[in-house]
Amino acid sequence: MKKVVIAGAGLSGLSTAYALEQLAAEENLELEVTIVEKELRCGGKIWSIRDHGYLCEWGPNGFLDNKPATLELCGQLGLNEALQRSNDNARKRFVYVDKQLHQLPENALMFFRSGLLTWFGKMRLVGEIMVPKKKDTKDETLADFGRRRLGAEALNKLIAPMAGGIFAGDPETMSVKSCFPRIAELEQQYGGLLRAMLKLARKKRQEKKAGQQVASAAGPGGVLTSFDDGIQVLVDRLRTQIKARSLTGTAVRSIHPADGGRYRVELEDGSSLDADVVVSAVPAYAAATIFAELEPTAARLLAEIPYASMNVVCFGYSGADLDCDLNGFGYLIPRQEHCSVLGTLWDSSIFSCRVDEGKVLLRSMMGGATNPTAIDLSDEQVQILVQADLKRIMGITTPPEFVRIFRHKRAIPQYVVGHAQRLTEIKDALVDHRGIILTGNAYAGIGLNDCVANGRKAAGQAFDVLKG
């Protein structure tokens, strides 16, 4: 019987185990899968907590339905009828600039009427169509890309807040190729972003006339999707559908070569496991520790992948105590506004099922790569700062009746310039270890869709090794 050990029982590890068992069943391969998880619970950063009538997400809020991987997995797990799409008003998103909230334009007319950018900023952005294509393919920061193609104002008011909202990242260090590969591709393929949008829009109209459908060109798109009881429903269902054995409350300590091309996996509790394949689905810094003896070069490179910290702050209110418009998704805040948070989601407006009737739930993000010291603030300091921002931006003076603060010291991996090259070097360092496979959000995508898709890919790689 072939044996596989998966380190990490987050969405990446569970998705890998599920896909691997499906492949084994199709090929009638006898397979024993063991999942090793440091925490006492499975699910990683996916954890939905209902408290005093408020459903708070400890980590991710959901997934976008514009990519197939997670939707397909939900279908396989029988969860399609349980899916909860965000409310229609969640399409309205805002940025806080010059002491007021500005709705992100949804079309050209809204763009020119919006006060988000000055007229100079608008003309500079429109003038992107005249900016020549970058001649070389060398990696560059998101900030350099933004200034070069769209101008400093668009970078500061649009691109940087988006980078903070998605990656909790600093655009001055983020790799545009690794964080937003599609945008980099559009410049190389079409010569610029506006040229690409115009040509792709024309292509879309033609295909629509022909009865075909195409996805959007470059934006994140999609509708935020979850479940009535939170995104944890997905990992809970995954766990019940997987036959793999789970060892929780311990972790993989090290990996050593064994006879016959196999591996001996040492655990922190002193026990060990034999494996034909070992899949690392833990964060990069944990993988660095695991591989320290087996492959020091790979371990060093993995340890170099930085992480940003994050405080997730949930405030609950009685709706009767608030006098502000909550018709939308929420807002992001540019760094130059000197606020304490990166942005705030109007969770109860996005998913009404997150609260009891008459209640309001706001979810603020504090920290990230541009504010690393926020993780060290006390709960009292965090609450004071978030309340000050809500008063300044939304006019909320009433103290929340409910507060939950979740801290993530290493929340989101940062794809800094040179990330793709580092991944190549890690792959080269592990070339003699076909039975060692890496997956997770530290490498090729941080979203839930990426974790599921890459878990499926890792399962395919593992299966190829097992059959070989």
Establish if 402 belongs to a structural domain. yes
Same domain, yes or no, for 275 and 423? yes
- What mean pLDDT do residues 120-148 have? 95
Instruction: Give pTM, 2 decimals.
Output: 0.93
- What mean pLDDT do residues 217-238 have? 85
In this predicted structure, the answer to whether residue 445 has a pLDDT above a threshold of 70 is yes
Establish if 221 belongs to a structural domain. no
- What mean pLDDT do residues 365-381 have? 98
In this predicted structure, the answer to whether residue 307 has a pLDDT above a threshold of 60 is yes
Q: What would the pLDDT profile of 428-442 be if each residue is shown by its tens digit? A: 999 999 999 999 999
Q: What would the pLDDT profile of 286-297 be if each residue is shown by its tens digit? A: 999 999 999 999
Same domain, yes or no, for 299 and 434? yes
Same domain, yes or no, for 395 and 372? yes
In this predicted structure, the answer to whether residue 210 has a pLDDT above a threshold of 80 is no
Q: Which stretch of 18-27, 105-114, 276-285, 437-446 has the lowest confidence by average pLDDT?
A: 105-114
Establish if 37 belongs to a structural domain. yes
In this predicted structure, the answer to whether residue 201 has a pLDDT above a threshold of 90 is no
Q: Scan for tokens 């998605």, then name that residue.
A: 166
Same domain, yes or no, for 326 and 280? no
Give the CATH number for residue 143: 1.10.3110.10
Same domain, yes or no, for 22 and 55? no
Same domain, yes or no, for 299 and 428? yes
Establish if 138 belongs to a structural domain. yes
To the nearest whole percent, how much of the chain has pLDDT over 70?
97
- Domain endpoint, select from 161, 177, 209: 209
Q: Scan for tokens 């429903």, then name that residue.
A: 233
Establish if 94 belongs to a structural domain. no
Number of structural domains in the chain: 3
Secondary structure in 3-state letters for the chain: CEEEEEECCCHHHHHHHHHHHHHHHHCCCCEEEEEEECCCCCCCCCCEEEECCEEEECCCCCEECCCHHHHHHHHHCCCHHHEEECCHHHHCEEEEECCEEEECCCCHHHHHHCCCCCHHHHHHHHHHHHCCCCCCCCCCEHHHHHHHHCCHHHHHHHHHHHHHHHHCCCCCCEEHHHHCHHHHHHHHHHCCHHHHHHHHHHHHHHHHHCCCCCCCCCCCCCCEEEECCCCHHHHHHHHHHCCCEEEECCCEEEEEECHHHCEEEEECCCCEEEECEEEECCCHHHHHHHCCCCCHHHHHHHHCCCEEEEEEEEEEEEHHHCCCCCCCCEEECCHHHCCCCCEEECHHHHCHHHECCCEEEEEEEEECCCCHHHHHCCHHHHHHHHHHHHHHHHCCCCCCCEEEEEEEEEEEECCECCHHHHHHHHHHHCCCCCCEEECCCCCCCCCHHHHHHHHHHHHHHHHHHHHC
Q: What would the pLDDT profile of 377-415 be if each residue is shown by its tens digit? A: 999 999 999 999 999 999 999 999 999 999 999 999 999
Confidence of residue 219 (pLDDT cuts 50, 70, 90): very low
The pLDDT assigned to 205 comes to 79
pLDDT averaged over the chain?
95
- What mean pLDDT do residues 249-268 have? 96
The pLDDT assigned to 211 comes to 61
Domain with 176, as residue range(s), is 117-209
Same domain, yes or no, for 419 and 301? yes
Same domain, yes or no, for 390 and 433? no
The pLDDT assigned to 432 comes to 94
Strand pairing category for 2-7 and 277-280? parallel
The pLDDT assigned to 222 comes to 85
Same domain, yes or no, for 409 and 314? yes
The pLDDT assigned to 216 comes to 38
In this predicted structure, the answer to whether residue 267 has a pLDDT above a threshold of 80 is yes
In this predicted structure, the answer to whether residue 217 has a pLDDT above a threshold of 80 is no
Establish if 109 belongs to a structural domain. no
Confidence of residue 215 (pLDDT cuts 50, 70, 90): very low
Same domain, yes or no, for 35 and 54? no
Same domain, yes or no, for 319 and 399? yes
Smallest CA-to-CA distance from 294 within 262, 268, 250 is with: 262
In this predicted structure, the answer to whether residue 363 has a pLDDT above a threshold of 90 is yes
